[in-house]
Chain A
Amino acid sequence: MISEEQQDQAALYALGLLDSDEDAAFESELRANAELRDLVRELREAAGDLALTAPSLLPPASLKERVMGEIAMETTRVVPMATRRAPFSWVPWAIAAALAVFCGLLALDRVRLERQLSDIRAADPLMQTTFYTLAPSAPAPADAKATVAWQPGRQTGVIRISNLPAPQPGKDYQLWAVDAEHKDPISAGVVRVDKSGVAQVRFKPVEKAEHVKAFAISLEREGGVPKKKGPILLVGTA
């Protein structure tokens, strides 16, 4: 038998209205009461259905491209370890010990991920994606960075840039593929960042690039140039 008070709490819980203490207490009660769990599930379904009463809209198609591009990169990206902010300052030895453990775990994780990536690539030729990490060089901001996911078989890729401020008027950032069999970098098009210094775009070099050693971003005149002229802001190898 579920009391009226429990029903009240169940309704508030289903709507996410309980504060953290109430939430923890109610979850403890839920674990011990199957009938209450069933009620919460029912109320959650009712709450979920409320979403259908919002005026019906569709997101732009470009959002799906963004999301699919992101998960394609996430598939093989190293997952950052969760960190907990310490309530007090750390003593130097604790920092050193934590860093040592972190580096060890990171190294193990890298080996594991490289093995997984190798297995995935071997199992599915469509997954033959190479990742390039682009680091800043002056005059780019020190925290600017970019990652390129490149599929040589398809001659297409996705670049994600962050912390790179928009160029001054009359200028554009241009992406280049540095290929071992081409004397000059191959243009892969102009890349425009948003107000927060972020861009994520698909690209295709203007010429076939089968042995890409590196990708680079340079600052060029607006609209881009056929041959690289401006300074390199970001560059990186696989």
Chain B
Amino acid sequence: MAETPTTQQMLDQEMIARIGRRDQSAFSAIYDRLSGPLYSLAMKMLGDPAEAQDALQDVFLQIWSRAGSYDPDQSSVFSWTVLLTRSRVIDRLRARGRRSRVVVASTEETPTAAADASTVESAADTAEKNDEAARVRYVLTNLPSEQREAIEMAFFEHLSHHEIAARLGQPLGTVKARIRRGLLKLRQRLSTL
């Protein structure tokens, strides 16, 4: 997610290794770096600040307890924590027997902090995150609309491919192909842009 992904990913891995050794200062640093994007994701899927905060607390406690088993060969730290967050959010949605209330909002950057928020980010950090987010948004919005739609329904609403097919009135194979093509294009374009 950083402008120099390899360097940032190495830094993240070092932080996770230190957290695995029970280093609370490393945990504090990774919290400062990742809590914004992960909270934003939880909010988009849950649409409720209290629930999103509870989910985020669960995620960071999992990061603390599972850091020792993190495998850099399987995913970057950022992707690992995103998957943990989705998983926690989906558990909450299932427990309440309802689907994600995706917050339909502008795709423009709308940084908002709660009244007592005091997470400190340097201007450079913020700019870097905004650049990266803008890059991903650009690539996503330039995917064929049917592929973008299928991916967003799968990722943010956690609809299964069967449910997406039913909602769109499309054959299952078509939906699978849209998700596959869209995700492959997304990765390819992000790596070359």
Contacts and interface: CB of A to CB of B under 8 A. Distances in A.
Please classify how large the interface on chain B is, using the bins under 10, 10 to 19, 20 to 34, 35 or more: 35 or more
Contact of B36 (A44, A50, A56, A68): A56
A177 B73 CA distance: 50
B108 to A, nearest CB: 8
Contact of B117 (A17, A19, A59): A59
A67 B31 contact: yes
A7 interface: yes
Contacts of A75: 22, 24
A11 B183 contact: yes
A47 B86 CA distance: 11
A94 to B, nearest CB: 30
Interface in A44-93: 44-64, 66-68, 70-72, 74-75
B184 interface: yes
Interface string A1-29: 00010011011101111010000000000
A106 interface: no
Most buried by A among B78, B80, B90: B78
Given A7-B180, A8-B177, A43-B184, A51 B140 contact: no
Given A48-B79, A52-B137, A59-B35, 20 more contacts: A8-B180, A41-B75, A45-B187, A46-B184, A46-B190, A47-B82, A49-B186, A50-B151, A56-B36, A56-B37, A57-B111, A58-B119, A59-B52, A59-B53, A60-B113, A60-B115, A61-B117, A64-B28, A64-B31, A71-B60
Interface of B: 1, 22, 24, 27-28, 31-32, 35-41, 43-44, 52-53, 56-57, 60-61, 64-65, 73-76, 78-80, 82-83, 85-87, 90, 103, 105-119, 129-130, 132-133, 136-137, 140, 151-152, 154-156, 158, 160-161, 176-177, 179-180, 183-184, 186-187, 190
